[in-house]
């Protein structure tokens, strides 16, 4: 987004509104590299810095012999009203010199002023599923740049084991790239061997408890709802496949051949559970899951209520 906009000519003003400090710093550094040239004055300040007045002076009175200054001001949310108004007035000037690059963890009083004058990159209202997609694409790309193919299953397992923190995920991908050596792909077995789990209760475990045990006593971390849905769907689809095979009189070994990733002892347990619950339980579960996913993307903000409703409805289905 930022690099594409630069190809059409650099703007004088940019705002990077990204809650995550690691990500925001990276994008700010990208912008600095795009607009800077050798010997160009660069000012890096926090909005809470007392030297902002010096920055205004520098921008108002640029040297005749120096390159135009580049000012990077992070943490805009800490601006006082007076400071914010000063920048708003500055941005309204047609004779603005230099480049202003702003960073913010959230919405800023300068948002509208920057939007009128420059480019805004805003992830503050990024939806959970949008973040999942963006992180997935980023990790796929990072692996690809290292000559590796990151399998979808390995990615899903990694996202279940590690909090959705870019710095943590990049660190784990780097470890996996090194661990796989000359291998061309990163598989779930690699993740299980090398990737540390930063979650005390993985989403996969939560999904198993909800679908197979009709229980989950732990709390769900904020932002985990949309990561949990694919895990629940996978469990329901597995259950439906097992119950369908069992209903067709398939033997345990035949079912195991169709589901080679499930350990034999666990498969025996799952077959018993699937036969008890019946295929209707899993079919109904998939329908209920589709419904709460649709509701969550249509404005329902209390995701914990949706999950509780799903669990309650699924449990009732199992008792019918």
pLDDT tens for each residue of 288-308? 999 998 888 876 667 888 888
Query: Is 234 or 3 the better-scoring residue by pLDDT?
Result: 234
State both tokens at 101.
């690059």
Domain boundary among 142, 172, 194: 194
* Radius of gyration (C-alpha) of the chain in whole angstroms: 26
Q: Which domain holds residue 63?
A: 2-122
Q: Say if CB 245 and CB 256 are below 8 A apart.
A: no
170 with 187, same domain: the answer is yes
pLDDT of amino acid 38: 65
DSSP 8-state code for residue 51: T
Q: What average pLDDT does the structure give for the chain?
A: 82
Whether pLDDT at 63 is above 60: no
**85, 181: one domain:** no
Q: How sure is the predictor about 10, in pLDDT bands with cuts at 50, 70 and 90?
A: confident
Residue where the block lists tokens 């047609």: 94
pLDDT at residue 8 tops 50: no
| 174 and 138 in a common domain | yes
- Report the alpha-carbon distance of residue 132 to residue 223 in Å, rounded: 10
Kindly give the interhelix angle for 128-145 and 225-247, rounded to the nearest 10 degrees.
80
Q: What would the pLDDT profile of 201-211 be if each residue is shown by its tens digit?
A: 567 778 888 99
Could you tell me if 238 and 315 lie in one domain?
yes
Q: CB atoms < 10 A from the CB of 56, how many?
A: 16
Q: Examine the pLDDT at 234 and tell me if it is beyond 60.
A: yes
Give 200's pLDDT tier (boundaries 50, 70, 90): very low
Could you write out the DSSP letters of every residue in 168-204?
A: HHHHHHHHHHHHTTT-SEE-HHHHHHHPPP--SS-HH
Q: Which of 81, 107, 122 is the last residue of a domain?
A: 122
pLDDT tens column, 104-116: 988 888 888 998 8
Is 65's pLDDT higher than 50? no
Q: pLDDT confidence of 242, banded at 50, 70, 90?
A: very high
pLDDT band at 218; cut points 50, 70, 90: low
CB atoms within 10 A of CB 126: 14
pLDDT at position 319 over 60:
no
CATH classification at residue 263:
1.20.272.10
**pLDDT of res. 9:** 61
On the 0-12 / 13-18 / 19+ scale of CB atoms within 10 A, 260 is exposed
Q: Which residues lie across from 127 on neighbouring strands?
A: none
* 169, 194, 219 - which closes a domain: 194
Q: How far apart are CA 40 and CA 248, in angstroms?
A: 74
The residue whose two tokens read 């002892």 is: 265
Q: What is the model's pLDDT at position 304?
A: 82
Q: Are 16 and 104 in contact (CB under 8 A)?
A: yes
- What pLDDT shows up at residue 165? 79
Whether residue 242 is found in the same domain as residue 285: yes
Domain at 26, CATH number: 3.40.50.300
Q: How many domains does the chain have?
A: 3
Residue 44's SS3 state is strand
Helix ranges (DSSP H) in the chain: 2-7, 21-35, 52-60, 81-91, 111-117, 128-145, 152-161, 166-179, 188-194, 203-212, 225-247, 252-258, 264-277, 279-296, 303-319
**Most confident by average pLDDT, 95-104, 144-153, 185-194, 260-269:** 144-153
- Give the side-chain half-sphere CA count within 13 A for 6: 13
This model's pTM is above 0.85? no
pLDDT category at 221 given cuts 50, 70, 90 is low
Alpha carbon 19 to chain centroid distance? 12
Q: Which residue has the higher pLDDT, 45 or 238?
A: 238
* CA gap 239, 244 in Å, rounded: 8
**How many whole angstroms from its chain centre is CA 182?**
29
Confidence of residue 237 (pLDDT cuts 50, 70, 90): very high
Alpha-carbon 57 to chain mean position = 40
pLDDT at 145 over 80: yes
221 and 169 assigned to the same domain:
no
The CB-based long-range contact list for 189-192 (8 Å cut-off, 24+ gap) reads 190/154, 191/154, 191/157, 191/158, 191/161, 192/157
Looking at the fold, whether 156 and 60 belong to one and the same domain comes out as no
């Amino acid at each position: 987004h930022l690099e594409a906009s630069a190809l059409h000519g650099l703007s004088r003003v940019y705002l990077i509104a990204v809650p995550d400090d690691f990500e925001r710093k990276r994008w700010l550094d990208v912008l600095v590299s795009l607009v800077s040239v050798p010997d160009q004055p660069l000012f890096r300040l926090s909005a809470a810095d007392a030297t902002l007045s010096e920055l205004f002076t520098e921008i108002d009175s640029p040297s005749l012999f120096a390159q135009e200054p580049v000012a990077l001001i992070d943490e805009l949310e800490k601006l006082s009203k007076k400071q914010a108004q000063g920048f708003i007035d500055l941005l309204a000037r047609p004779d603005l010199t230099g480049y202003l690059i702003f960073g913010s963890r959230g919405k800023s009083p300068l948002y509208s002023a920057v939007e009128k004058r420059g480019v805004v990159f805003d992830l503050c209202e990024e939806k959970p599923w949008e973040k999942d997609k963006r992180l997935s694409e980023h990790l796929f790309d990072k692996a690809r740049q290292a000559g590796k193919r990151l399998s979808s299953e390995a990615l899903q397992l990694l996202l279940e084991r590690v909090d959705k923190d870019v710095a943590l995920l990049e660190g784990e991908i780097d470890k996996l790239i090194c661990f796989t050596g000359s291998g061309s792909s990163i598989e779930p077995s690699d993740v299980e061997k090398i990737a540390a789990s930063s979650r005390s209760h993985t989403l996969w475990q939560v999904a198993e408890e909800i679908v197979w045990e009709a229980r989950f006593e732990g709390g769900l971390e904020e932002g985990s709802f949309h990561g949990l849905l694919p895990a629940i769907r996978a469990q329901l689809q597995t259950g439906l496949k097992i119950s369908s095979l069992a209903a067709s009189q398939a033997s345990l070994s035949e079912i195991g051949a169709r589901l080679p990733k499930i350990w034999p002892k666990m498969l025996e347990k799952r077959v018993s559970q699937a036969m008890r619950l019946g295929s209707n339980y899993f079919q109904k579960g998939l329908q209920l899951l589709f419904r709460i996913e649709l509701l969550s993307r249509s404005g329902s903000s209390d995701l914990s209520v949706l999950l509780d409703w799903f669990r309650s409805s699924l449990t009732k289905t199992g008792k019918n």
